[in-house]
Amino acid sequence: MDMVEAMRVAVEVARHGSFTLAGRELRISAPSVSRIIAELEADLGARLFNRTTRQLNLTDAGLEFVQKSAGLLEELDHMRNMVRERHDTPRGLLRVSCVTAFGNECLAPAIPDFMQRYPQLSVSVDIGNRLVDLIGEHYDVALRVGPLSDSSLIAQKISTQQIVFVASPDFCLKFGTPLSIDEIKDCPSVTQVSGEWGRTHQFNHHGATIHFDVPQHLTMNSARAVRNACLTGYGYSLLPDFMVAKDIREGRLIRLLPDLEPVEQPIYAFYAQRRHMPEKVRVFIDFLREAFGH
């Protein structure tokens, strides 16, 4: 006797309350259903169904068996689908929402490599700081700085960013090089503010946490725009480390207050909580962790 087949038959009989209807659902004859149930009861040494000419009811043993069988069959189907999809080629459209700075500076140049690995996938990336409704707007993955409170989503940490003080050499010639928080507050700033984000940043200094309220001299909602304005020498800026690393190496920008240790801000990939993750989402999350995990 095939126990898995017998479990499926028992579950369908219980669901439909009929050998005939269960047979139609499973595409086998009613006599075959009756034979499988009889063999199952003989194997278990217990009656699962009470049968009359008009009714078919579960016994106590039958109820317990059907409930446990339904859970086991669901797990079996999940395992089968997971293994099958891992060997399938990801295909279709992958829709991604990503915060602006990370999207422009990190994700955009990395996506071509992902596309070459999975040529049967199409990718649409929406870059912006708006909080999208992942499920309602049919996005597969959203990349955001910091955790979200939506319990219907799963979060995978893929990278981190640190916000650092920077200014151009012309700024330092004009205003001097600030050596403390108090000194830098007296200088003009050009900073990124998007909603509530960017108004306050945290730093560690000699074991204490410093909350720096960003002066609102010149604010923009784009980190790239802030960087370009900062290069003119007008003011200092607070920008993600990955965005200014090359400028610092090549002397276009100078890191200010290096003794202040920026608090790391995690960058998460969010996706809908499903019992079975779509293969296109799985390979994309794996790619992000490989590309940016260091």
Tell me, yes or no, whether 135 and 167 share the same domain: no
Q: Domain check: are 255 and 179 in the same one? A: yes
- Could you tell me which residues come within 8 angstroms of residue 176 by beta carbon, excluding any fewer than 6 positions away? none
User: Do 137 and 18 sit in the same domain of this protein?
Assistant: no
CATH classification of the domain holding 203: 3.40.190.290
| pLDDT, one tens digit for every residue, the chain (294 residues) | 789 998 999 999 888 888 888 888 888 998 988 899 899 889 989 998 888 777 888 899 989 998 999 889 888 887 777 666 665 678 889 999 999 999 999 999 999 999 999 999 999 999 998 888 888 888 999 999 887 776 778 999 999 999 999 999 999 999 999 999 999 988 999 999 877 777 889 999 888 999 999 888 999 989 999 999 999 999 999 999 999 999 999 999 999 999 999 999 999 999 987 667 888 999 999 999 999 986
> 118 with 30, same domain?
no
Residue 36 sits in the same domain as residue 74: yes
List C-alpha distances in Å: 182 to 178, 213, 239, 257: 9, 12, 19, 11
* Whether residues 147 and 209 fall in one domain: no
Decide if 27 contacts 65 (C-beta within 8 A).
Answer: no
Give the single-character DSSP code of 62: H
8 and 70 inside one domain: yes
Report the CATH number that the domain containing residue 143 is assigned in CATH.
3.40.190.10
151 and 177 together in one domain: no
Same domain, 175 and 251: yes
Could you tell me the residue range of the domain that residue 284 belongs to?
92-159+266-292
- Boundary-marking domain end, from 63, 86, 109: 86
Let me know whether 258 and 280 are in one domain: no
Please give the Cα distance from 177 to 166 (Å, whole number).
10
Query: Based on the structure, what is the number of domains in the chain?
Result: 3
Task: Among 61, 86, 111, give the residue marking a domain's end.
Answer: 86
**pLDDT (tens digit per residue) in 225-249:** 999 999 999 999 999 999 999 999 9
* pTM metric for this prediction: 0.67
Name the domain boundary from 57, 86, 115.
86
Kindly report the number of other CB atoms within 10 A of residue 257's CB atom.
20
Residues 118 and 183 reside in one and the same domain: no
> 203 has which bridge partners?
210, 262
CATH number at residue 77: 1.10.10.10
Number of H helices, E strands in the chain: 11, 15
Identify whether residues 23 and 154 lie together within a single domain: no
Axis-axis angle for helices 3-16, 30-44 (nearest 10):
110
For residues 14 and 51, is the Cβ–Cβ distance under 8 A?
A: no
